[in-house]
Structure 1
């Protein structure tokens, strides 16, 4: 069981580092303003 958890967490770290789990900021539906707030592009 511990091995399965370790493999899952390792995959999650690798996937996050590779950018597989999230949209890039360019393709996201929101953008950040100069104040750091997220605003919808729609």
Structure 2
């Protein structure tokens, strides 16, 4: 199972944002959005 779920992944990234450089946060956020896009769309419908 992927550690990044459409909803829980958001919380996890926000929680760790203060511990990581801002650039790392946005890069990881972008990667997660790209990977989760199809499943996230199905999840929200």
What range is the shorter-chain TM-score in? 0.3 to 0.5
- When normalised by structure 1's length, the TM-score is 0.42
Higher helix share: 2
> Looking at both structures, which has the greater relative contact order when contacts are Cα pairs under 8 Å and sequence separation is at least 6?
2
User: Considering only CA atoms, is the larger Rg found in Structure 1 or Structure 2?
Assistant: 1
- When normalised by structure 2's length, the TM-score is 0.40
